[in-house]
Chains A and B, each alone.
Chain A
Amino acid sequence: MASQLLQAAVLGVLTGGVYALMASGLTLIFGVMRIINVGQGALVILGAYLSFVLFNTWHIDPFLGLLVTMPAMFLIGVVLELVFIRPLKTDRESLSVLVTYALALGIEGVLGFVFTANYRELSVWYDTASVPLFGFRITLVYVFGFALCLAILGALFLVLYRTTFGAAIRATMLNRTAAQLIGIDVEGVSAVAFGIGMATAAAGGAVFGITTAFNPNSHYDLISRLLTVIVLGGLGSLRGAVVAALIMLVTQDVASVIIAPEWSAFVFFVILVAVLLVRPEGLYGVRVRERI
């Protein structure tokens, strides 16, 4: 039991890294633009399908393929922002939820048309190979995925905290109007932030596609988890998203050992409810008087 629990905890940390990556894009978009991208789940699935196509057609390794899919998804993100998000002038917060929901449905529909509803999986060699760790074996893909997430999240933090452009992003997150007043191109920052969000979705999608069988429908389950993660972490807080993802996934994996695997996803929502009762603004969130 003890070793099972330890194994679950280690696996939770490793998969938590992947969720942290996917959720970081979501929370960054919220922080910069004050919109919730309900389409993030569908974009992760799109990323998984892109990796799948590269792998099956040209035998490009999903991790290597990120060199193609991440910039591609970045561009898609910039275009989506320009076409669908920027025109929303009034009531952005609620309208953007609906727009991104509609985008998710559109992506689901196109993917369903192209790839049918059959489940796909990226079967790479490191999906079956494993390494020994603390007396049990961990599948390599989790280790690789975790390393990738550390690298990308690290790069993201470096950009945010060590570059002028990162400062512009953080300024926009703090106060959009003030940032505009001191000459920051907030519209441009928003487009880039949306693009970064998509790029993290592409990276998350590649790992997700290797570890999990997916079909065009899979985004519902994914987005409900990602949204729960960013609410727990506090909307707009990158650090919060990372911590919350680790907490959620470790708790979930441990719960699946203690209680039952089919109830493990329920833990996500129980934690959410508990957090809302105690701290509605989330772990690292700030209590703001928002106007609706």
Chain B
Amino acid sequence: MNAARRFAPRVALLLVAIVAILLPVLEPNPASINVAVFTMMYVGLASAWNIMGGYTGYISLGHAGFFGLGAYTLGLGVAHLGIGPGYGPFALVPLAGLLTGLFALPIGWIALRTRAATFVIVTIAVMFMLQLAAMNLIGLTGGTGGLSLPVPRWSGDFYNTPFYYAMLILASLTIAVSWWIRRSKFGLGLLAIRDDEDKAMAVGVPTRQFKLAAFVISAALVGMIGGVYAYYVTYVYPEFVIDPLTGISMVLMAFLGGLGTLTGPVLGALLVEPAQLSLAYNFGASRLYLVFYSGVFLVVILLLPRGIVPSVRDLTIGWWTRGGPGRAAGPSPGPSTPAPGNVVAP
């Protein structure tokens, strides 16, 4: 029983990894890979958002601004460094993360002077501020005319594949960072901030530094993903790369899967993004997909405010405690997922 509990998650993780890596071979249709690129993008975005929003409880609705900063970094970098089409622009992705992180530092410093409701508002305001700056700094960003990036000369069948792997690598990196934070003392501090910030401060958690660090890490990861997105669509328009809908989508996915859990945002993205893409594809012009989107959102928050992962975990733990002998002898060490269920507020 215990061996099964210990190895089952690892085997599952291995299987998921194999499927993710072989996906372009298993399903070589470019349209499918296009869906996979965007889904993997949101796996990364929701997981990155979760580092701030899930662990510390500070809900940012402005992460689309960091997505845009990363996209602009890549677009401007490619243009000014004269990098041609091909694999070259991918080398700028870490730079996109770095610059976004640098921008996020003062933004976070100011925004984190406030708490709860005011913080949410400030993040929204910052996002629109960045969008407005992108529209008005015409000399730098090309204004509403946007920037265009070189188009890689890859064949149609292969075109999407490098972007898929780029997104897969970034999503894996984000999940790894999230996992590491969750297991570290830093992560414990973040969770303490979420549960009661004043008490956390009282027991010696450096709350200001921890919150700011989580904010910057989260923003930098989102920035890198934004960079790859810019190269994938080969243009950067202010309204598209700094879109409030991108910001709210990552939040929805994290909420649906389970706020503050490691696997929740991943699951949320896997469920929502393909559905959103097919709806936008079928009903895009009539904007009816927004109605569907809002419906899912409302149902999730009203009926499943804790998300899928914590709810399901409670069920399975219930089965195990009733049926299995392992628990009476003392809780076994957590399996590969670091059992975040106990930290989710009821």
Q: Are A97 and B294 in contact (CB under 8 A)?
A: no
Residues of chain A within 8 A (CB-CB) of B58 are 292
Q: Is B290 an interface residue (CB 8 A)?
A: yes
Residues of chain B within 8 A (CB-CB) of A268 are 125
Q: Is B244 an interface residue (CB 8 A)?
A: yes
The stretch from B8-16, B111-119, B153-161 touching chain A is B111-119
Residues of chain A within 8 A (CB-CB) of B59 are 94, 97-98
Q: Contact size class for A?
A: 35 or more
What 0/1 readout, one digit per residue, does chain A (250-292) give for beta carbons within 8 Å of chain B? 0000000000001101101100110011001000000001111
Q: Is A36 an interface residue (CB 8 A)?
A: yes
Q: Is B90 an interface residue (CB 8 A)?
A: no
Q: Is A87 an interface residue (CB 8 A)?
A: yes
Residues of chain B within 8 A (CB-CB) of A266 are 129, 132-133, 136
Residues of chain A within 8 A (CB-CB) of B111 are 276
Q: Are B287 and A36 in contact (CB under 8 A)?
A: no
The stretch from B39-47, B192-200, B266-274 touching chain A is B192-200
Of the candidates A88, A228, A235, the one whose C-beta lies within 8 Å of that of B125 is A228
The stretch from B19-27, B217-225, B298-306 touching chain A is B298-306
Of the candidates A36, A94, A106, A290, the one whose C-beta lies within 8 Å of that of B291 is A106
A292 to B135, CA, bound (A): 35
Query: What is the chain A residue whose CB lies nearest that of B255?
Result: A98
Q: Are B302 and A87 in contact (CB under 8 A)?
A: yes
Of the candidates A87, A102, A231, the one whose C-beta lies within 8 Å of that of B118 is A231
Q: Kindly name the residue among A35, A98, A227 whose own CB sees the greatest number of chain B CB atoms within 10 A.
A: A98
Query: What is the chain A residue whose CB lies nearest that of B115?
Result: A290
Query: What is the chain B residue whose CB lies nearest that of A288?
Result: B115
Q: Is A93 an interface residue (CB 8 A)?
A: yes
Task: Give A233 Cβ to nearest chain B Cβ, in Å.
Answer: 12
Of the candidates B114, B120, B297, the one whose C-beta lies within 8 Å of that of A280 is B114
A272 to B126, CA, bound (A): 10
Query: What is the chain B residue whose CB lies nearest that of A291?
Result: B196
Residues of chain B within 8 A (CB-CB) of A36 are 117, 120-121
What 0/1 readout, one digit per residue, does chain A (39-72) give for beta carbons within 8 Å of chain B? 0000000000000000000000000000000000
Query: What is the chain A residue whose CB lies nearest that of B126?
Result: A269
Q: Is B248 an interface residue (CB 8 A)?
A: yes
Query: What is the chain A residue whose CB lies nearest that of B299?
Result: A102
Q: Are A113 and B117 in contact (CB under 8 A)?
A: no
- Chain A-chain B contacts (Cβ-Cβ < 8 Å), number: 145
Q: Is B333 an interface residue (CB 8 A)?
A: no
Among residues 59 to 107 in chain A, which have CB atoms less than 8 Å away from a CB atom of chain B?
84, 87-88, 90-91, 93-95, 97-99, 101-106
What 0/1 readout, one digit per residue, does chain B (29-66) give for beta carbons within 8 Å of chain A? 00000000000000000000000000001110100000
Q: Is A154 an interface residue (CB 8 A)?
A: no
Q: Is A110 an interface residue (CB 8 A)?
A: yes
A103 to B295, CA, bound (A): 8
Residues of chain B within 8 A (CB-CB) of A105 are 245, 248, 290-291, 293-294, 297
Q: Are A95 and B305 in contact (CB under 8 A)?
A: yes
Q: Are A113 and B287 in contact (CB under 8 A)?
A: yes
Task: Give B239 Cβ to nearest chain A Cβ, in Å.
Answer: 9
Q: Are B61 and A290 in contact (CB under 8 A)?
A: no
Task: Give A59 Cβ to nearest chain B Cβ, in Å.
Answer: 28
What 0/1 readout, one digit per residue, does chain B (95-118) give for beta carbons within 8 Å of chain A? 000000000000000110111111
A223 to B135, CA, bound (A): 19
Among residues 184 to 203 in chain B, which have CB atoms less than 8 Å away from a CB atom of chain A?
194, 196-198
Q: Are A272 and B294 in contact (CB under 8 A)?
A: no
Residues of chain B within 8 A (CB-CB) of A277 are 110, 113
Residues of chain A within 8 A (CB-CB) of B125 are 224, 227-228, 231, 268-269, 272
Of the candidates B110, B196, B251, B301, the one whose C-beta lies within 8 Å of that of A276 is B110
Q: Is B346 an interface residue (CB 8 A)?
A: yes
Q: Is B177 an interface residue (CB 8 A)?
A: no
Seen from chain B, the residues whose Cβ lies within 8 Å of a Cβ on chain A are 57-59, 61, 110-111, 113-118, 120-122, 124-129, 132-133, 135-136, 194, 196-198, 244-245, 248, 251-252, 255, 286-295, 297-298, 301-302, 305, 345-346
Sample of 21 A–B contacts (CB below 8 Å): A84-B302, A88-B305, A90-B345, A98-B251, A99-B302, A102-B293, A104-B294, A105-B293, A106-B298, A108-B287, A109-B294, A112-B286, A235-B118, A269-B128, A276-B110, A277-B113, A280-B113, A289-B198, A291-B197, A292-B58, A292-B115
Task: Give the 8 A-B residue pairs with the shortest CB-CB distance, closest first.
Answer: A109-B290, A112-B287, A106-B294, A102-B297, A109-B291, A269-B129, A105-B294, A224-B128
Known: A88-B301, A90-B345, A269-B128. 6 other contacts (CB 8 A): A36-B120, A84-B298, A94-B59, A97-B59, A105-B245, A105-B294
